[in-house]
Structure 1
């Protein structure tokens, strides 16, 4: 006869199996399925989704005041755009690249596992003191952040408010044509404003972000630690690279810029 303790163990195990089955049914087998309700454009995993690579694209999952909508701010263009970019990086370079993104929660020390982070619409990020401290350590340890898809003065001020939490003495520069980051793989002296898909057949810019800026935040040794794509939407250039309605010249430039930024992060 089973003891009362054994009955409890069997019942607990049965509940665990049931919970796993329900979770599998809810989320499927895709690696980041639990976050898909926060993503704008989730896609199926490639066959090698669970194979590690030397280059890992870290998609920063931050908090914002605009959560609870159809998708979260951090999840704009995710994860289709990330994967088209990573596939391009694999094809155009010899970098051993992981085929899918790593979603890195700002609450987690997993931040330190991906030296390359990508954040969309950082004007809306809401950083706690612990978030700012974690990102400060990330930069101190050699991390690189690429930010994209924010437009106009108000968005810029929101982004910089967060950066000043990370470093009150943060220094922003306009990146000139001779910067190595524009020549490490492709010569990008002639750069173009990459528009969002929503304005590509209209004005080509959003809000009051008429003039595109390629900016950078540098450390004490002059290394770019934050590459800032301001008044542009590089992520849409990636996401819609397979869309005949989105002009190829913008996608081509967005992908080349991403390749340069990734290689810079790996070599500087």
Structure 2
């Protein structure tokens, strides 16, 4: 408990002075670097449209580093295996329990590995589907049906799953959606403007939720 209090004080002091987000560089063989322009575009969109003041270039952080506590939002994506060491599991758990927020976005092929690792981080909690009524889908942009569909994978509906601790959403897992692809430069996937707009607006909602809750 004492460690958690110290971490919470550290985290709170850090986010009070700056807004900066990071990309998670994980081990296991998966391509953590899969969407190189996505966070850059999300930051630009959010700063222009919802009045965030996020540092333009996102950081890259490793799961076992104490630097994770410098970022209120850490994003991870990829197509393949993701594997955390025991010390990384503990570090990520402490990060989220002390105020941090993690977003995992399945870029297709990450699901089975990620679910295994999430269970290691929170062995006593289960991923639950987040209903469309949750605030993360309400503002500043309305998504009355919940998570939007950006790219097709297996023809399944898009789902947002979460881990809640003390009624606080600490981990968001977006599945069968591929938000990160929608955040990429337009020429990467040649998505229609309305599709990219949906992705960026949903991303802005996530950031708004983190910085205002």
Greater relative CO, 1 or 2 (CA 8 Å, sep 6+):
2
1:130 aligns to what? 87
How far is 1:261 from its partner?
0.4
Length-normalised TM-score, structure 1:
0.68
**In 2, Cα distance between the equivalents of 1:267 and 1:133?**
26
- If you compute each CA radius of gyration, which structure gives the higher value, 1 or 2? 1
2:169 aligns to what? 224
How far is 1:266 from its partner?
1.2
Which range is displaced more, 57-66 or 129-138? 57-66
Out of 95, 99, 106, the position equivalent to 2:52 is 95
- Written as runs of structure 1 = structure 2, the 5 A alignment for 1:3-152 is 54-66=18-30, 73-78=31-36, 80-121=37-78, 124-151=81-108
Length-normalised TM-score, structure 2:
0.85
Q: Deviations over 1:154-204 (max 9, x none)?
A: x43311110111111122221112101111211111453111xxxxxxxxx
**In 1, Cα distance between the equivalents of 2:150 and 2:68?**
28
How far is 1:125 from its partner?
1.2
SS of the residue 1:62 aligns to: coil
How far is 1:222 from its partner?
1.4
Instruction: From the superposition, tell whether residues 122 and 227 of structure 1 become closer, same or farther in structure 2 (CA, over 3 Å).
Output: farther
Unmatched runs of 5 consecutive residues or more in structure 1: 1-52, 67-72, 196-204
Unmatched runs of 5 consecutive residues or more in structure 2: 1-16
Superposition RMSD in Å: 2.0
SS of the residue 1:124 aligns to: coil
| Residue correspondences, number | 196
User: Does structure 2 conserve the Cα–Cα contact (< 8 Å) formed by 1:122 and 1:159?
Assistant: no
Q: Deviations over 1:78-134 (max 9, x none)?
A: 2x1111111101100222211110111223111111110000038621110001000
